[in-house]
Amino acid sequence: MEIMSNVQKVAIITGASQGIGAGLVSGYRKLGYNVVANSRAIAPSDDPGVLAVAGDVAERGTGARIVAATLDRFGRVDTVVNNAGVFIAKPFTEYTDEDFDLATGVNLRGFFEVTRAAVAAIQARGEGGHIVNVSTSLVDHAFAQVPSALASLTKGSLNAVTRSLAIEYADRGIRVNTVSPGIVRTPMHPGETHESLAALHPLGRMGDINEIVEAVLYLESAGFVTGEVLHVDGGQSAGH
């Protein structure tokens, strides 16, 4: 992506302490962006172009605080990547109220509060911007082996709101897209599960972190793409 020489753009990335989030921080820095990296617990960065903001996006007020810290440090917001998420695989009747609160808190309130504050900041500057959500291909292709109704309930909402916001803000130059991964090789999945998880994808393997990062960065540079749910899932959403 071509970055204007007199402007250093700024990306907010949630769930940034490890896995895909940490990869996204590195990816956006390589694009020349300043980055605000959020996670419940995240160490300060030695990189002056990275501001670490600790906080649980499921808690009311955290999203506004992240955006305020971004404006205070860097003076602008250009992109938000709503990467923070929780995944709880259980039979539907075994989900607890606590499971529901956790999944909706991180996956929905986290998206809502960060994005609401960020869109207001982007709109006030009047130069457009980009929101990217991270969903899951389980929304489109359910597996009996992976009962995950709470993921479908919450991440399916992100797919839907992606299209809604893309249309609402198209005339203001704010694009909204989603990346919908298959199962990715991250610290969330113990090594002994990898073989069985790989078999859930038609391509016969799990995804790699860099493949999700590359998809997000493609959307960042794709100025004519908005309202898109981009599947990066080894063919999961096409069938099995």
Name the pLDDT band for 6 (thresholds 50, 70, 90). low
Q: What H or E segment, with its residue span, contains residue 131?
A: strand 129-134
CATH of the domain at 186: 3.40.50.720
In this predicted structure, what is the pLDDT of residue 238? 84
Q: Flag whether pLDDT at 206 surpasses 90.
A: no
Name the pLDDT band for 233 (thresholds 50, 70, 90). confident
* CB-neighbour burial class of residue 224 (10 A; exposed 0-12, middle 13-18, buried 19+): exposed
- The token duo for 89 is 């695989």
Report the alpha-carbon angle 133-137-143, nearest 5: 150
Weakest-pLDDT range from 135-144, 145-154, 169-178, 192-201: 192-201
Q: Look up the domain containing 103 and give its range.
A: 10-231
CA distance 22 to 14: 9
Q: Give the mean model confidence (pLDDT) for residues 95-117.
A: 97
Three-class DSSP category at 233 = coil
Lateral strand order in the sheet of 10-13: 50-54, 34-39, 10-13, 79-82, 129-134, 174-181, 229-232
In a domain, 188, yes or no: yes
Phi/psi for 197 (5° steps) reads -70, -35
Q: Flag whether pLDDT at 173 surpasses 60.
A: yes
What is the number of domains present in the chain?
1
In this predicted structure, what is the pLDDT of residue 107? 97
In a domain, 4, yes or no: no
Mean pLDDT of the chain: 92
> Within 10 A of 231 (CB to CB), how many other CB atoms are there?
22
In this predicted structure, what is the pLDDT of residue 140? 83
- The token duo for 70 is 């971004």
Q: How many helices (H) and strands (E) does the chain have?
A: 7, 7
In a domain, 240, yes or no: no
CA distance 156 to 192: 29
In a domain, 161, yes or no: yes
Question: Which of 21, 42, 13 lies closest to 181, judged by CA?
Answer: 21
In a domain, 18, yes or no: yes
